[in-house]
Amino acid sequence: MKLICFDLDDTLWDFEDTLSRAEATLHRWLDEHYPDFSSRHSIDDLRLRRGQLLQENADLRHDIGRVRLLAMQHAAEDMGYDTTAAKRLSQAAFKKFMVHRNDVQLFDDVMPVLKRLRQEYTLCSLTNGNADLHAIGIADVFHHRLSAEQVGAAKPAPRMFLEACRLADAEPHEAVHVGDDPHTDVFAARAVGMKTVWVNRRADDWTHDEGADVEITSLVELEDRLRELLARASA
């Protein structure tokens, strides 16, 4: 086994908590700087706009930052802002949002385990999100860092997994993917030939026919379970 890939949101930190705090902070900022906009467009309204934009533009699925920018820009234009002013609002708001989107609280098990695994394996982060690992302060623990925006395709498309293998000079069967989402992590990684680890921090029931190779509730379990996978593979 050469390569371990990690999903980020809800695998290394609680994404819903991070997102809720970032959006609440952004809306308070809009109240102060663009009160006409914030009074017309709630957090939920902007979420609905992003969802509609994605439905109408599937080619944007790999770039959620652009989706957020365009949703705010279009909302401002619908209010009568000219294009230049609408872009100025959306860019300033996005910059504010990203500061708090990257203010994550890592799960306690994350750094100790990643630092140990880094000594033995090539580590690569794989995310459909737009977290900035340099801003978060954990970029150096990964040998490679890939986002859907960089690769031009979002999980569950195979391209991101295969690009990680290419960077690590590993075949898919020499790689493990660790993530929380059954579809974009477990099923997608399995489809390209990787071993899979489902991170089930909330102790949810698995409701699909075929499970991951390994299920864990904490990364603390990961090292022992990797040894099980290796022993199983070599048996």
Query: Which residue intervals of the chain bear CATH 3.40.50.1000?
Result: 3-14+104-234
pLDDT in tens, 94-138: 999 999 999 999 999 999 999 999 999 999 999 999 999 999 999
Residues 6+ apart with CB under 8 A from 166: none
Helix (H, G, I), strand (E, B) or coil at 187: helix
Per-residue pLDDT tens for 15-32? 999 999 999 999 999 999
What CATH number does the domain located at 16-101 have?
1.20.120.1600
CATH 1.20.120.1600 intervals, the chain:
16-101
H/E element holding 5? strand 3-6
Is the model's pLDDT at 34 over the cut of 90? yes
Instruction: Count CA atoms within 13 Å of residue 217 on its CB side.
Output: 5
Inform me whether the pLDDT recorded for 183 exceeds 90: yes
Identify the architecture of domain 3-14+104-234 in CATH: 3-Layer(aba) Sandwich (3.40)
CA–CA distances in Å: residue 126 to residues 17, 56, 131, 187 = 20, 25, 11, 15
User: For position 228, what pLDDT does the model report?
Assistant: 87
CB-based contacts of 74, cutoff 8 Å, min separation 6? 49, 53, 86
Structural element, H or E, at residue 227: helix 222-234
CA 143 to chain centre: 17
Across 168-192, b (16+ Cβ under 10 Å) vs e yields bebebebbbbbbbbbebbbbbbbeb
The yes-or-no verdict on residue 235 having pLDDT over 70 is no
Contact 220, 197 (CB under 8 A): no
CB of 93 closer than 8 Å to CB of 72: yes
Radius of gyration of the chain, Cα coordinates, nearest whole angstrom: 19
pLDDT average, residue stretch 64-73? 96
* Sign of the dihedral through C-alpha 50, 51, 52, 55: positive
